[in-house]
């Protein structure tokens, strides 16, 4: 059902990134079920789509549009499984071999078809003009050169193909809360970690014939933090923020999305 191709690293930094993510699978900290079991993937799926309220609908819509879709930095394949179940022919790549192994198990449990490879999203082995859609969510802030990754995404897209790209927003409510409350954001210790301004995202994606920038990810109650700060956050900040009209708060969303067309 799946193929794993191991791409050789040639540039400094990528082995460090792979080592970090092999040991820090995204959202693993909340898992209570045996790693690799169906219950484990279901638990991480439920956690992710509850926290990122816009994402389930986006993944399903993207999958329903069909065609050949590549996910760069697919992790354990939570989003990709939704996309595949909705109808797209999917390929997932990641630098972390442990993530790719788990992504294959995730697809196996669900009876889904997908192709997987351990591969660097800044140096992909795919031909030009291969994919109808490239999806890359929460990855560019952790790679060596985000601009090179975006250029590679553009290269492997067919003319008219579309990119769905998400990077973390520097001027966001979440960063403000993290600084004010003295609570570090997840994975701030990851190699090459950085945040993006709107101008940086726009300039990095300027080679796309069309592009639209949007903001997502607004406060939801934390399930991983404890103590008085978590209590204040859950009982005061989250409801208070969400009472404000979204048109006023939208530009401070934590997720900066660029929908591009080649």
Ligand X SMILES: C[S@@+](CC[C@H](N)C(=O)[O-])C[C@H]1O[C@@H](n2cnc3c(N)ncnc32)[C@H](O)[C@@H]1O
Q: Which stretch, 103-111, 134-142, 169-177, 211-219, contacts ligand X (CB under 6 A)?
A: 134-142
Q: Does 143 bind ligand X (CB under 6 A)?
A: yes
Among 45, 94, 104, 152, the residue binding ligand X under the rule CB under 6 A is 94
Q: Which stretch, 30-38, 95-103, 150-158, 246-254, contacts ligand X (CB under 6 A)?
A: 95-103
Closest residue to ligand X: CB criterion: 75
Exposure class string for 101-138: b at 16+ Cβ within 10 A, else e: bbbbbbbebbebebbbbbbbbbebebeeebbbbbbbbb
Q: List the strands of the sheet with 68-72, edge to edge.
A: 115-118, 89-94, 68-72, 131-137, 157-168, 255-261, 210-216
Residues 109-128 that bind ligand X (CB under 6 A): 120-122
Q: Does 95 bind ligand X (CB under 6 A)?
A: yes
Among 62, 99, 105, 115, the residue binding ligand X under the rule CB under 6 A is 99
What are the Cα distances from residue 170, in Å, to 53, 109, 132, 181, 196? 20, 37, 30, 16, 5
Tell me how far apart the 2 most distant CA atoms of the chain are, in Å.
53
Q: Does 78 bind ligand X (CB under 6 A)?
A: yes
Least CB distance to ligand X at residue 151 (A): 12
Least CB distance to ligand X at residue 131 (A): 15
- Contacting positions for ligand X (CB under 6 A): 17, 21, 26, 72-75, 78, 93-96, 99, 120-122, 137-139, 142-143
């Amino acid at each position: 059902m799946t193929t794993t191709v191991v791409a050789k690293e040639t540039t400094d930094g990528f082995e460090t990134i792979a080592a970090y993510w092999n040991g820090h699978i995204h959202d693993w900290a909340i898992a209570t079920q045996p790693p690799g079991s169906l219950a484990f993937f279901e638990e991480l799926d439920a956690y992710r789509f509850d926290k990122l309220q816009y994402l389930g609908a986006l993944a399903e819509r993207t999958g329903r549009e069909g065609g050949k879709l590549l996910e760069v930095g697919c992790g354990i394949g939570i989003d990709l499984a939704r996309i595949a179940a909705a109808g797209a022919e999917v390929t997932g790549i990641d630098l972390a071999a442990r993530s790719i192994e788990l992504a294959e198990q995730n697809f196996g449990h669900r009876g889904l078809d997908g192709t997987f490879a351990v591969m660097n999203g800044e140096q992909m082995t795919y031909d030009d003009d291969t994919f109808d859609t490239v999806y890359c969510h929460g990855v560019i802030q952790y790679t060596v050169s985000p601009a090179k990754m975006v250029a590679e995404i553009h290269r492997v897209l067919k003319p008219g193909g579309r990119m769905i790209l998400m990077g973390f927003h520097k001027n966001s409510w979440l960063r403000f809360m993290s600084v004010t409350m003295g609570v570090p954001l997840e994975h701030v210790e990851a190699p090459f970690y950085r945040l993006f301004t709107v101008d940086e995202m726009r300039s990095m994606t300027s080679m796309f014939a069309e592009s639209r920038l949007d903001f997502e990810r607004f406060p939801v109650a934390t399930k991983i933090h404890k103590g008085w700060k978590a209590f204040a956050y859950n009982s005061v900040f989250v409801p208070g923020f969400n009472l404000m009209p979204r048109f006023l708060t939208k530009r401070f969303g934590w997720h900066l999305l660029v929908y591009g067309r080649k």
